Structures are given as C-alpha cells and as structure tokens.
Amino acid sequence: MIRLVATLCTALLLPACGSKSPDDGGRETRRPRNEVRVATHGLPGSVDERNWQRFVANVEVWAPEFRLELLTVEGDGASTVGDPLEEARSGRIQIASLTLAEAAAAVPEVAILSVPYLFDSPEEADYVLDEVLLEPFRRLFAERDLRLLQWVDVGWTQLYSREPWLEPGQVAGARLAAVPSLASQAFVASLSAELVPAPAAPGLLSGLEAGTIDGGVATVVAYAARGLAREAPHCTLTRHAFEVRVLVAHRPWFHDLTPHDKGVFEEAFGSAGQARADTRGAAAATVARLEAEGVRVHRLSPDQRRTWATASSEAQPGIIAQAGGRAQEIHDLVLAGKAAFAAREQPGSSD
C-alpha cells in the first residue's frame, strides 16, 4: 500500500507508529520493519517526481510486502516541520533524499562536491563520484548512522539575472539569491557579490520585481519551474557547480534487511546512469523551451568559462578549511580521480 503525503509538514502532524504515545511514558515505539517512510525532493511534474514514481513501482513489484509512505519536502524550498536528515538519522524516516546543504549538517565534507568549477564535464563528475568517492563517503555517512545508497543527479548550477552577466566583474555588488550553503557563500563572496538566502518562489519573484534581488543561483529546471524568467530573463550557463543529492537510509534499519531487500532499496530508484540520463534530458529540453519563450540564454565559450573559474578560484581553499574533517583528503581524491579520468580519455588508452 502506498500513501502519498503532500508535504512533510502535513505528514508529521499525523499519528505514526514511530510517534510517542501519552500512555507509553514517552518511550519511542518501533515501527513494523515493512513500513518504510521516505522523504523526497521534487517539484510537481519534474523528473524527480517521475524517478520517485519509478521507485514506488519497483518496490511494489520486487518487494510487495513493504508499505511505502512518501513524504514530500516542498520543492520550492519552503520550510517544513521536521528535518529530513535528523529524521533519517533517528530512524523515524527510513530513506531520505538530501540536498548537499542538508547532508552537510552531518557530513560537512560533502561541501567539497560544490567547489566552483571542480568538474569540467558531467562524464568526469560521474566517474569521480562513482569510482572514487562513493565508498569513502559511505564510510563518512556510516559514522552518522546513515547508509549512502547512491548519488542523485541534479545538474549544473547556473546564474539567472535581471540584466545580462557575461563576465564575473558584472556580478560585483549584486544581490544573489542562493541556498546559504558553505559552497554557495564562498562562490558569491569570490565574485564580490552579496548572498541573499533564497526565499520560496513567491518571495524570489517579489524581490526580483522590487530590485532587492538582482539574480540568483539555480539549475535551469528550478529556474524555469519557479517562473523566475518573468522577472529575471537572463540565464548565464556558467556551469560553476555540478549538483547532486544523496539518497540515504537509516543505517541500523538497512543493516537488518535481507540481502534481497537491501538490493531492492539500492536499485529501486533506478540506476545512476538512468536517473542521470533523465535529468540531463530534462535540462536540455528546458533550455530549448526557455529560448523559444524569449529568455536570453547565454552560453559561455571555453575561454569565458575559464575566466569565471579563475575569478572564483579563491573560494576553494576557504571551503576546504571551513568544511574541516577529511575535506582535504576528499579534495585530493577528487583531483586524483580527475587525473585518472583524463588518462582514460587519452587516445590509445587501454580502457
């Protein structure tokens, strides 16, 4: 049985097997193991929503004894009652899709993945994430009672604005709306701009219209879905950060599953390749639609992208230092993975 709940806020107001009863002395009651609560992200009609529909369909076929309850964190970034990260760590939620900003509260090293211009192509990012970083990050998440199931592709982060921004110097002094993560703060500061914590979509539009916000940071899919082109008709494809989400499970719950059921929940969302193809196809279609609607989409030449990378390069050491922990080690692994990927791509490579 599948129960779809409109928002996490609404869901947590309902009585649940994991809630505290007034008659049990405040003790936490255990949920039946086959009842699985899942915190998801996704805008209505988005590729994320379709991927979660695939997740539900696969679990229904492969493990029909499980009952899923999907709790949707509102896709426009609005606040909700309950923290998906803490719910997953405590076991009140068994599986959660977390943004890097959310995941960083438990594993600060994930901020390294959003270092400006860390990756040069989606293929390079795929290789480093899957072949180099998956197991090291699984160990880091395990220390926080979480099992990292897979990376979920979100896509390149771009800039949108009321006026065209083709060079880094044009952004100096501007007010940019962004999620106030360590990486986005460092990126905005490196451009001598001011970060404005991104409000929900209506507030963003109001700020752009009033001129209190000059532009912001988002994927093209989010930019289009929130209707921001109405007030910010310029989209510069800076491709300055390759964003992913992390799909995690409550580790003790996952550990107690049978090998078959572990495989179900590791594969139900779809392979990383399948999810990535869907996400990238949606981004390409969105760019084409925006251009057809009159949005000015600015594509950077390789030289222009290098100029942006140079301008924001001072953000990197600050992100590593502030993330702390094993951030330097993770960054070193990224550089080694990039070198290994480049060697694979060279003519005559045995791979």
pLDDT, residue 3, reads 43
Closest of 220, 234, 224, 246 to residue 96, by C-alpha: 246
CATH code at position 202: 3.40.190.170
User: Hey, what's the torsion of the CAs at 22, 24, 27, 32, to 10 degrees?
Assistant: -100
Cα–Cα dist 219/225, whole Å: 10
- Tell me the pLDDT tens digit for each residue of 162-187: 999 999 999 999 999 998 788 998 99
Q: Is residue 291 part of a domain?
A: yes
pLDDT, residue 146, reads 98
Q: Is residue 188 part of a domain?
A: yes
Q: Is residue 320 part of a domain?
A: yes
| Token duo for residue 113 | 């993945």
- Tell me the pLDDT tens digit for each residue of 24-69: 343 344 567 789 999 998 777 788 888 899 999 999 999 999 999 9
Q: Is residue 350 part of a domain?
A: no
pLDDT, residue 15, reads 32
Residues of the chain with pLDDT under 70: 1-31, 74-81, 345-351
Structural domain that includes position 33 = 2-345
- Tell me the pLDDT tens digit for each residue of 179-213: 878 899 899 999 999 999 887 778 899 999 999 99
pLDDT, residue 255, reads 96
Reported pTM: 0.85
Q: Is residue 85 part of a domain?
A: yes
Q: Is residue 351 part of a domain?
A: no
Cα–Cα dist 178/172, whole Å: 16
Domains in the chain, number: 1
Beta strands in 180-312 (DSSP E): 194-197, 215-218, 234-250, 296-299
